[in-house]
A and B are shown apart, each in its own frame.
Chain A
Amino acid sequence: MDFTLNADQATLATAIDSLAARFETVPTNYDGFTLFGRDLEQELENGEFFDIALVPELGPLSAALAVERLSRLPYTAEFALSMLFRPHLSGEWPRPIAIVENGRPGRFVATAKTILVIDGENVGITQPSPDEIEPVESIFAYPMGRLKTGVTITPLPASEAAIVRKWIRVALAAEASGLLHTAIAMTVEYLTVRHQFGRPLGTFQALQHRLAECTVLAGGVRWLALRAAWTADDGDAALAALHAQESATRVIYDVHQMHGGIGVTLEYPLHLWTYRLKALISELGGRGGQASAVAQHCFGSASSY
């Protein structure tokens, strides 16, 4: 157990920080639903950051730390699955990667080179041609897309499907952790500057306690996500994803509520984080799906604590 970054992890963190610095701010007068980071994606590609999990000194934990950090940005790009999940696929599968679950629209599907197709218990994989995918307008702050019907899908064997689910869960939790971080930080800032009744809103204990509870949840998501990346354990991954979806559900409501009217405008960009979290809440069967995975992997017959 050691919670400090080692030299390699620290070097990577510095590199990610300096890359991220150029994408910290929302463009002035921006009022869209999604802020897609094409340049961010290119920079990650140029710096070979998508493969850090494969570097022996770094590994999946460093990749999870990177995903967590990058998810704090207002810009979104497909890095979570590329960094955390792609290294575990057998064979060469080009990125970006997207997931289509039970035929629904998914994040990054319209630009994906590889798509995981999840249908109930079955997991398949495909490399769609451009005419097999199409963008979908949505309120989620990710570019959403749809896979057309009739696409040929290669089924994955059960053992590989389990690996797929595990790393999707780790990626989801790491991304949620970064999103939660910024959503809460923005709320702290807002409650500090916004005055009502002659005092900053943040001095009202009713709001302090709610935000404090959100903070405890968010930090828990971070530790569970990082540990799951380190142990690569199915149970740890399920716990992390469950806690992420559970916490997101609560935090999204609270941070919007604490922003009052300004939080529902597009000019105030809170939705860039909360409406990514909303998209994550339903993945892999939502909380019910994660709970059954916890039951299977943590409360299995050979369970020991």
Chain B
Amino acid sequence: MEFDWDAEQQGFRAKLRAFIAENLPADWENLAHGPGTSEQSIFSKKFCGELAKAGLLVPHWPKRWGGSDADAWSQFILAEEMWAVGEPRGGQYMNVNWIGPTLMRFGSEEQQQRYIPPMARGETIWCQGFSEPESGSDLASLRTRAEKDGNIYRINGRKIWTSYAGHADTCFLLARTAPGRGGMSILLLPMNTPGITVREIPSLIGRGDIHEVLFEDVEVPVSALFGTEGQAWEIARSVLALERAGIPRFALAGRMLHRAVTELKKAGRFGNGAIGQAARAYAACEAARLYSCQIIDQRKRGLPPGPDGSVARFATVTAERLATEFIVEHLPEALAGGDVMLLSHHQRAIVAGISSGAAEIQLNLIATEFLRLPREPR
């Protein structure tokens, strides 16, 4: 056991920081605001293109698909550095972390050839169509139907909270082909297919982020089926495994804490109350960071994902919560025209315990799978 970053890892981090310094425009902080806006989405394609050219977009992918076979730590460092400056990759972080690798594992030859190279060049945006108005945490109850009719699937239904849908080229869609958990399938659906309507949902997180997506008699060739019919649950589990550490939110939260503290000190307002809260929040950020490192360490050693992932996720939710509560109480002017970065962090942080699996679901998993407490009767 040791807690040092080796020379190669330090070098990789330095390279990323240099790249970021060179490639983020002067008005980046305004751009970063609103993770799914048109400006951000257009910028993300430019930025990811440059990352790809520098070999920094998908370093942990296999060489065959444009990566350099780097290990899980590179992916972690990459994610930390990107999130800490406000995620200039926009929605493309999903391609890099799980959509690409999932395609490599379950995709047909045709699907891989069609979709992976543009991802590796940083040219394409995807969205994840899982949640529905009636199916949030209870995903297996989803209703969107995909009916096979000759050589097409006909899709009808409704997705909600879909991030980046407004600019996405393709949807990683979860739909029902038969009743029950085993009746769920995944389709790779081009977003310009007739019958799809995307409506942005105004929200506390900022412009352009979440959407409602309507499917009315949307027809796709059967070749859009990803994996086999009924394989969605298995694929979704493997997606979760790839995403088990989740977004390194503690990296941005830690930076924003420092930023707020600097402001408060300048104003002579960093007194004992503020110190206590800032310190607690920072300890929570660092605890979450170490938990995430533990998950990466497990992945690097080829261990199957366990319930530690939920522990790391909940620690991250706590860190975000304490960081935002500190800023709301001690530097409220940041959220009222004072600091666009602190505001944008706040808007992202408030959903830490909701998006990609609610905090309470993580607690259920920690109780029953990590602590092995007896399960609730159903």
Is B189 an interface residue when CB atoms closer than 8 A count as contact?
no
Is B2 an interface residue when CB atoms closer than 8 A count as contact?
yes
- Return the chain B residue nearest A291 by Cβ: B279
By the criterion CB–CB under 8 Å, are A200 and B374 in contact? yes
Residues of A within 8 A of B297 (CB): 1-4
- Return the chain B residue nearest A10 by Cβ: B1
Which of A191, A215, A230 has a CB less than 8 Å from the CB of B370? A215
Q: What's the A-B contact tally at a CB cutoff of 8 Å? A: 170
Is B191 an interface residue when CB atoms closer than 8 A count as contact?
no
- Give the residue among A1, A202, A288, A292 with the most B Cβ atoms within 10 A: A1
Which of A6, A240, A243 has a CB less than 8 Å from the CB of B1? A6
Is B225 an interface residue when CB atoms closer than 8 A count as contact?
no
Is B222 an interface residue when CB atoms closer than 8 A count as contact?
no
Whether A212 touches B294, Cβ cut-off 8 Å, given contacts A188-B373, A203-B375, A223-B287, is: no
Contact with B along A52-75 (1 / 0, CB 8 A): 000000000100010000000000
- Return the chain B residue nearest A294 by Cβ: B279
- Return the chain A residue nearest B368 by Cβ: A208
Q: Which of A201-218 contact B (CB under 8 A)?
A: 202-205, 208-209, 211-213, 215-216
By the criterion CB–CB under 8 Å, are B2 and A230 in contact? yes
Interface pick from A92-100, A125-133, A295-303: A295-303
Residues of B within 8 A of A212 (CB): 314, 362-364, 366-367, 370-371
By the criterion CB–CB under 8 Å, are A216 and B311 in contact? yes
Q: Classify chain B: how many residues form its interface, as a range.
A: 35 or more
Whether A224 touches B258, Cβ cut-off 8 Å, given contacts A3-B294, A188-B373, A191-B373, is: no
Which of B261, B283, B314, B360 has a CB less than 8 Å from the CB of A224? B283
Min CB distance B298 to A, Å, is 8
Min CB distance A119 to B, Å, is 20
Is A219 an interface residue when CB atoms closer than 8 A count as contact?
yes
Bound together, the chains give a CA A287 to CA B280 distance in angstroms of: 9
By the criterion CB–CB under 8 Å, are A215 and B293 in contact? no
Residues of B within 8 A of A219 (CB): 287, 291, 311, 315
Min CB distance A43 to B, Å, is 24
Residues of B within 8 A of A148 (CB): none
By the criterion CB–CB under 8 Å, are B1 and A226 in contact? yes
- Give the residue among B270, B279, B314, B374 with the most A Cβ atoms within 10 A: B279
Which of B3, B291, B376 has a CB less than 8 Å from the CB of A205? B376
Residues of A within 8 A of B375 (CB): 203
By the criterion CB–CB under 8 Å, are A295 and B270 in contact? yes
Q: Which of B266-325 contact A (CB under 8 A)?
A: 270, 272, 275-276, 278-280, 282-284, 286-288, 290-291, 293-294, 296-298, 301, 311, 314-315, 318
- Give the residue among A9, A204, A239 with the most B Cβ atoms within 10 A: A239
Min CB distance B265 to A, Å, is 8
Which of B255, B279, B286, B373 has a CB less than 8 Å from the CB of A203? B373
By the criterion CB–CB under 8 Å, are A220 and B315 in contact? yes
By the criterion CB–CB under 8 Å, are B290 and A223 in contact? yes
Which of B3, B314, B315, B372 has a CB less than 8 Å from the CB of A188? B372
Residues of B within 8 A of A226 (CB): 1, 3
Residues of A within 8 A of B284 (CB): 220, 243
Residues of B within 8 A of A215 (CB): 311, 366, 370-371
Min CB distance B331 to A, Å, is 14
Bound together, the chains give a CA A184 to CA B73 distance in angstroms of: 31
By the criterion CB–CB under 8 Å, are A1 and B2 in contact? yes
Whether A1 touches B278, Cβ cut-off 8 Å, given contacts A202-B373, A216-B366, A246-B283, is: no
By the criterion CB–CB under 8 Å, are A295 and B367 in contact? no
By the criterion CB–CB under 8 Å, are B286 and A239 in contact? yes
Whether A305 touches B258, Cβ cut-off 8 Å, given contacts A215-B366, A216-B314, A224-B287, is: yes
Is B254 an interface residue when CB atoms closer than 8 A count as contact?
yes
Whether A220 touches B288, Cβ cut-off 8 Å, given contacts A3-B294, A215-B366, A288-B276, is: yes
By the criterion CB–CB under 8 Å, are B364 and A208 in contact? yes
Bound together, the chains give a CA A294 to CA B280 distance in angstroms of: 9
Residues of A within 8 A of B84 (CB): 305
By the criterion CB–CB under 8 Å, are B363 and A243 in contact? no
Bound together, the chains give a CA A234 to CA B284 distance in angstroms of: 17
- Return the chain A residue nearest B251 by Cβ: A305
Q: Which of B28-57 contact A (CB under 8 A)?
A: none
Is B4 an interface residue when CB atoms closer than 8 A count as contact?
yes
Min CB distance B314 to A, Å, is 5
By the criterion CB–CB under 8 Å, are B377 and A188 in contact? no
- Return the chain A residue nearest B293 by Cβ: A1
By the criterion CB–CB under 8 Å, are B373 and A243 in contact? no
Min CB distance B186 to A, Å, is 31
By the criterion CB–CB under 8 Å, are A203 and B377 in contact? yes
Is A264 an interface residue when CB atoms closer than 8 A count as contact?
no
By the criterion CB–CB under 8 Å, are B258 and A220 in contact? no
Residues of A within 8 A of B374 (CB): 192, 199-200, 202-203
- Return the chain B residue nearest A185 by Cβ: B371
Is A154 an interface residue when CB atoms closer than 8 A count as contact?
no
Residues of B within 8 A of A153 (CB): none
Bound together, the chains give a CA A165 to CA B374 distance in angstroms of: 43
Q: Which of A268-294 contact B (CB under 8 A)?
A: 287-288, 290-292, 294
By the criterion CB–CB under 8 Å, are B373 and A3 in contact? no
Bound together, the chains give a CA A220 to CA B315 distance in angstroms of: 8
Whether A231 touches B371, Cβ cut-off 8 Å, given contacts A203-B376, A216-B311, is: no
Residues of A in contact with B (beta carbons under 8 Å apart): 1-6, 9, 61, 65, 184, 188, 191-192, 199-200, 202-205, 208-209, 211-213, 215-216, 219-221, 223-224, 226-227, 230-231, 236, 238-240, 242-243, 246, 287-288, 290-292, 294-295, 298-299, 303-305
A-B contact pairs, 13 of them (CB 8 A): A1-B5, A65-B1, A202-B373, A208-B363, A209-B360, A209-B367, A211-B371, A215-B311, A216-B366, A220-B290, A287-B280, A294-B278, A305-B84
Given contacts A220-B287, A287-B276, 13 further A-B contacts (CB under 8 A): A1-B3, A1-B4, A4-B297, A5-B1, A202-B367, A208-B367, A209-B360, A219-B291, A220-B284, A236-B286, A288-B272, A294-B278, A305-B258
Q: Which 3 residue pairs are nearest across A and B when measured between Cβ atoms?
A: A220-B287, A208-B367, A223-B290
